[in-house]
Chain A
Amino acid sequence: MNIQVPTAILDGSVLSLLEKEDTYGYIITKTMQDLFQVSDSTMYPVLRRLKKDEYLETYDEPFEGRIRRYYKITEKGKQRLDEIKNDWQLFNKSANELLGGKK
């Protein structure tokens, strides 16, 4: 995909993933790479910013003798996700009117 994924879409997609269940960094990165072909380093700043803005929080769990960091959506994150979903509906509708029609 040659379209650069906007920040709001990255944020929304991560929050949407976490709305279903708490998960860890590798799953988030892998899912986003499969969906949007983003680079490895794209996800760290996204997760860091979402945590800083209190849209998600982290907790550590032991796994095979090491620590695995889990990400969990907050109430504030759920509100943000609703906003992004609404914005996306409007954007999607407009873009589809121009780009979505068949030739």
Chain B
Amino acid sequence: MIDDYFTQTEKYLNNVPVDDRKELIQFYKEQALDAQLDSTQLEEKYGTPKNFARKLKIEYFIDNDNQTESSTKNKISGLQLVAMVILGLFATPVLIPLAVVVVLSFAALIGGLLAFIFAVYAGIVATLGVGLVSIFVGFGLFGQSIASAIFYIGLGIFLTGLVIFGGSIVVNLTKWLFMQIIRFAKFIGRRFLKVKKGEQA
């Protein structure tokens, strides 16, 4: 019975909001009934209910992620999306070699990104530290040399200002780099995990 197939698929769509889940199932069930598919043909076309649900979820969340005005309950975090795409690749036997390449690419990208972020943020903290110490030292030097005091205070203000202006650029750059990783995951999801026409399980 195709009812069983769709009931099982619906169970696996657990993190899709109920209304959207019902609508999604209704759409595909109606298609199956109109095309007069039986449960064997359904499995041949879409795969097991679990695999079908996985692909539907990937498409659903990629689609919602692209609609900036969507409410947050329809969305998952970028990392969840990446994890969903990787699991989807591993669930499809022919895509396992690609999954391994993608996992290694993600690991390299995220590792590189974390190293970069660590280096940049350590630099920011160090610059801020030197800036604040310079201001402090500058004030301490007023009794001995006004020129030195002004130099150190000026250096301190310059470095602190640099952190304030540079910091926001670095934060935005970090966000942008993470977005590129998510975009890559979405590209992989769209390219390889679509519910294709006449797909074999």
Contacts and interface: CB of A to CB of B under 8 A. Distances in A.
B30 A45 contact: no
Contact of A44 (B27, B67, B197): B27
Interface stretch (B31-39, B121-129, B135-143, B156-164): B31-39
Contacts of A38: 197
A39 B197 contact: yes
B31 A26 contact: yes
B194 interface: yes
Interface residues of A, number: 21
B24 interface: yes
A8 B30 CA distance: 25
Given A25-B31, A26-B31, A45 B197 contact: no
A39 B195 contact: yes
B26 interface: yes
Interface in B19-67: 23-24, 26-28, 30-31, 33-35, 45-46, 55-56, 59, 63, 67
A48 B56 CA distance: 14
Nearest to B55: A41
Nearest to A45: B63
Contacts of A27: 34
A48 B125 CA distance: 47
* Interface size grouping (class) on chain B: 20 to 34
A8 to B, nearest CB: 15
Nearest to A26: B34
Contacts of B59: 41, 44-45
Given A42-B194, A49-B63, 15 more contacts: A25-B34, A26-B30, A26-B34, A29-B31, A40-B31, A40-B45, A40-B46, A40-B196, A40-B197, A41-B55, A41-B196, A44-B59, A45-B63, A49-B67, A68-B34
Interface of A: 24-27, 29, 33, 37-42, 44-45, 47-49, 66-69
6 contacts: A26-B30, A40-B28, A41-B59, A41-B196, A48-B23, A48-B63
